[in-house]
């Protein structure tokens, strides 16, 4: 199918790269990297960074590395490494052979640290963490020099080697850069380069008991890899002078850091700390709970990589922070699945419908279009018989005003089949409708052959041919507040209705044995994905990825 080419939104990062290429800086090369810390699962915000990092490299014929910034063994794990690798690949990006770990550079970083000590640019400090923050000063007051700042180079070198050898306890000493305690930029007030942490690392095991700070590792890792454009989020803008200082002191390759605003999406939190709390406190079933803003959760919910990339591209890289409406994310998925997902009939809350004048035992195969957006998807046959199920919601007695579905005396079209007229109902002893009776018009099959129109069309499945769904899971936003990050306590803004489990749904028989992860549109209900974790052929479980109502399309229309 042809699609109108969407113009790429302007992007200040592209403009900077174009400038570099014009001036010959980096010789026209574009090497970027995506540098996650393996301390949690990737979320929708990371998708933005990934799309920019890989997208810019691809656009300029360069390459993008996947590098784990694994400098903090206390919070990192192999589980996170594995999930990140799988997720970036699932999004559709390829780093080739350029998979790196900051921990691979620990020895080089250590050697460079010794080099700075020898040059009088770094020293071992004995101040405690509390003392250090007291000495650091504030935004309005300069810091004070540590009494250890001027200890002889040889002494620092000796102490640093003994730190590495494990002679001191956690927190007893640090290595600090000797820059400027009076700098207006607090990051330059003798930042810590190494701390002692006697913890096992998921890759280096017990080889190290001193670990580099992120700020000491990050710029040098970029430099080692020959990164030209080190794209990161805005909170690192104030760290750039420090990264520059380190690289200048070492006299090594100097990437250009470019900062953009973090992506925030309404109704979503992206703080990894808070996401971890949601998992640990079992508010959700895990990192990949379909309500989570993690890419693993969105994937399980039914999101496609294409929809997520489309969303990231439409949001684009911005210099100023803004909150993107979650309706845009949903809109991107709806657009993608509208083109690709086959339609199916599913009755979520069944009510029996008996066609009194339809011959007992007769079965007709009704031709149903698989995807009106995609003729190549063809059609399928859906069995029709005397006893059907329709949605409870599609019958009312009495009918409210403007109700065009089924009600006593009213007519409705059964999708892909006949027009039926309601003749009566059966109720149980409590007065609940348990069965609707009707007659059908044998001449009305398929379309309105006699030019007869009825206002409503409802979907159905045959009672004896349909198959059960063990669970159909319907989701709402995990947080009812549009900006859950603003709440003092996220627990106060949780949406108690974020998950509804519907049991007893009936599906058209072509859904038997569907693969986990496959996606369909259930007509009139939305797009659904076969749950990748819990669904089995004998116990089908579907997640609603997104409903059919497009609030974003309305927002766009109103604003254009
Ligand atoms: P932490 O708080 O643990 O540092 P983080 O969100 O910064 O978490 P990282 O693993 O360090 O997570 O992020 C990897 C990359 O993704 C970084 O370059 C970071 O700037 C970028 N990134 C993280 N969150 C977002 C977001 N919401 N929008 C855009 N980019 C993001
Ligand atoms: Mg980070």
CB of residue 263 inside a 6 A radius of ligand 1: yes
Residue 231 tokens read as 């794209």
CATH code of the domain covering residue 431:
2.40.240.10
Model confidence, pTM: 0.94
Boundary (domain end) residue, out of 260, 288, 310: 260
Residue 182 tokens read as 């009076």
The answer to whether residue 7 is domain-embedded is: no
CB of residue 46 inside a 6 A radius of ligand 1: yes
The answer to whether residue 4 is domain-embedded is: no
**Do 30 and 170 lie in a common domain?**
yes
Other CB atoms within 10 Å distance of the CB of residue 293: 24
In sequence order, the 6+-apart residues with CB closer than 8 A to the CB of 292 are 41, 43, 275, 278, 284, 298, 478
Residue 290 tokens read as 């379909």
In tens, the pLDDT along 194-206 reads 999 999 999 999 9
The answer to whether residue 369 is domain-embedded is: yes
Spacing, Cα 295 to ligand 1 middle (Å): 13
**Do 439 and 326 lie in a common domain?**
no
The answer to whether residue 464 is domain-embedded is: no
**Do 279 and 216 lie in a common domain?**
no
Distance CA 91, CA 136 (A): 43
CB of residue 37 inside a 6 A radius of ligand 1: yes
Point out the ligand nearest to the CA of residue 258: 1
Distance CA 443, CA 366 (A): 14
**Do 86 and 18 lie in a common domain?**
yes
Spacing, Cα 525 to ligand 1 middle (Å): 35
**Do 486 and 394 lie in a common domain?**
no
- The reported pLDDT for the residue numbered 333 is 98
Got the DSSP string for 449-513? TTS---S-EE--EETTT-EEESEEEEE--SBSSS-GGGSSSGGGGB-TTSEEEE-SEEE-GGGTT
Are residues 391 and 353 in contact, defined by beta-carbon separation less than 8 angstroms?
no
CATH code of the domain covering residue 123:
3.40.50.620
Distance CA 428, CA 426 (A): 7
The answer to whether residue 266 is domain-embedded is: no
CB of residue 218 inside a 6 A radius of ligand 1: no
In tens, the pLDDT along 483-514 reads 999 999 999 999 999 999 999 999 999 999 99
Domain containing 498 equals 272-342+470-559
Spacing, Cα 169 to ligand 1 middle (Å): 31
In tens, the pLDDT along 517-560 reads 999 999 999 999 999 999 999 999 999 999 999 888 787 777 76
**Do 381 and 501 lie in a common domain?**
no
Site to probe by mutation for ligand 1, drawn from 34, 40, 41, 49 as the one with most ligand atoms within 8 Å of Cβ, is 49
The answer to whether residue 3 is domain-embedded is: no
Count Cα atoms within 13 angstroms, Cβ side, for 171: 5
Which residue has 């004048």 as its token pair? 357
Whether 274 is a known active-site residue: answer: no
Are residues 181 and 190 in contact, defined by beta-carbon separation less than 8 angstroms?
yes
Ligand 1 atom at shortest distance from the alpha carbon of 270: 27
**Do 84 and 223 lie in a common domain?**
yes
Whether 155 is a known active-site residue: answer: no
| Backbone φ/ψ region at 135: left (φ over 0), alpha (ψ -120 to 50), beta | alpha
Using a 10 angstrom Cβ sphere, with 0-12 exposed, 13-18 middle and 19 or more buried, the burial of residue 291 is buried
Closest C-alpha among 113, 114, 123 to residue 216: 113
Spacing, Cα 46 to ligand 1 middle (Å): 6
Boundary (domain end) residue, out of 240, 260, 280: 260
CB of residue 38 inside a 6 A radius of ligand 1: no
**Do 151 and 37 lie in a common domain?**
yes
**Do 169 and 22 lie in a common domain?**
yes
Closest C-alpha among 451, 456, 379 to residue 420: 456
The answer to whether residue 1 is domain-embedded is: no
The answer to whether residue 389 is domain-embedded is: yes
Distance CA 542, CA 243 (A): 48
Counting the structural domains of the chain, the total is: 3
**Do 220 and 364 lie in a common domain?**
no
Using a 10 angstrom Cβ sphere, with 0-12 exposed, 13-18 middle and 19 or more buried, the burial of residue 98 is middle
Which ranges of the chain have pLDDT less than 50?
A: 1-4
**Do 215 and 190 lie in a common domain?**
yes
Are residues 260 and 231 in contact, defined by beta-carbon separation less than 8 angstroms?
yes
**Do 317 and 404 lie in a common domain?**
no
- The reported pLDDT for the residue numbered 282 is 97
- The reported pLDDT for the residue numbered 351 is 98
In tens, the pLDDT along 67-83 reads 999 999 999 999 999 99
- The reported pLDDT for the residue numbered 3 is 47
Boundary (domain end) residue, out of 431, 459, 487: 459
Distance CA 223, CA 250 (A): 11
Angle at 437 between CA 447 and CA 470, to 5 degrees: 85
- The reported pLDDT for the residue numbered 446 is 79
Point out the ligand nearest to the CA of residue 70: 1
């Amino acid at each position: 199918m042809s699609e109108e080419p969407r113009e790429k939104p302007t992007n200040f990062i592209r403009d900077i790269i174009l400038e570099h290429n014009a001036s010959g800086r980096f010789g026209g090369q574009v090497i970027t990297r995506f540098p996650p810390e393996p301390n949690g699962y990737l979320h929708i915000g990371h998708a933005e960074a990934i799309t920019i990092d890989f997208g810019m490299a691809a656009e300029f014929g360069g390459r993008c590395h996947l590098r784990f910034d694994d400098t903090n063994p206390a919070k990192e794990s192999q589980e996170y490494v594995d999930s990140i690798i799988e997720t970036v690949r699932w999004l559709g990006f390829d780093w080739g052979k350029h998979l790196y770990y900051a921990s691979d550079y620990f020895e080089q970083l250590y050697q460079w640290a010794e080099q700075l000590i020898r040059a009088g640019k770094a020293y071992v400090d004995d101040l405690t963490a509390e003392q250090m923050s007291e000495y650091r000063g504030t935004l309005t007051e300069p810091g004070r020099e540590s009494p250890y700042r001027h200890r002889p180079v040889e002494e620092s070198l000796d102490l640093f080697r003994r730190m590495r050898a494990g002679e001191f306890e956690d927190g007893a000493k640090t290595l600090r850069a000797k820059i400027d305690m009076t700098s207006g930029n607090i990051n330059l007030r003798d930042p810590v380069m190494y701390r002692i942490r006697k913890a096992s690392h998921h890759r280096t095991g017990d080889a190290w008991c001193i670990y580099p700070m992120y700020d000491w590792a990050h710029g040098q890792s970029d430099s080692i890899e020959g990164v030209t454009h080190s794209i990161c989020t805005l909170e690192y803008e104030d760290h750039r002078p420090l990264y520059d200082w380190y690289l200048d002191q070492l006299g090594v390759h100097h990437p250009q850091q470019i900062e953009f605003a973090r992506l925030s999406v309404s109704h979503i939190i992206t703080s990894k700390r808070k996401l971890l709390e949601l998992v640990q406190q079992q508010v959700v079933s895990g990192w990949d709970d379909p309500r989570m803003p993690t890419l693993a959760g969105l994937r399980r919910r039914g999101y496609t990589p294409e929809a997520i990339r489309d969303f990231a591209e439409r949001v684009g890289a911005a210099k100023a922070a803004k909150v993107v409406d979650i309706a845009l994310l949903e809109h991107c998925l709806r657009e993608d699945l509208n083109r690709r997902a086959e339609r199916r009939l599913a009755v979520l809350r069944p009510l029996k419908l008996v066609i009194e004048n339809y011959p007992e035992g007769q079965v007709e195969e009704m031709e149903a279009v698989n995807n009106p957006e995609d003729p190549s998807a063809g059609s399928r046959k859906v069995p029709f018989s005397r006893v059907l199920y329709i949605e409870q919601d599609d019958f009312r007695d009495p009918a409210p005003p403007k109700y065009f579905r089924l009600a006593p005396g009213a007519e409705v079209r059964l999708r892909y089949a006949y027009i039926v007229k309601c003749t009566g109902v059966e109720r149980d002893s409590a007065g609940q409708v348990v069965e609707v009776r009707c007659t059908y018009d044998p001449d009305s099959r398929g379309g309105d052959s006699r030019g007869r129109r009825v206002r409503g069309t409802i979907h159905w499945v045959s009672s004896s041919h349909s198959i059960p769904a063990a669970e159909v899971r319907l989701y709402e936003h995990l947080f009812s507040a549009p900006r859950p990050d603003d709440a003092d306590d996220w627990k106060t803004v949780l949406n108690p209705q974020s998950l509804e489990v519907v049991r007893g749904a009936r599906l058209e028989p072509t859904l038997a044995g569907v693969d986990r992860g496959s996606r369909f549109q259930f007509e009139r209900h939305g797009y659904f994905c076969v749950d990748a974790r819990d669904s089995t052929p004998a116990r089908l479980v579907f997640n609603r990825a997104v409903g059919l109502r497009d609030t974003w399309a309305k927002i766009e229309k109103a604003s254009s």
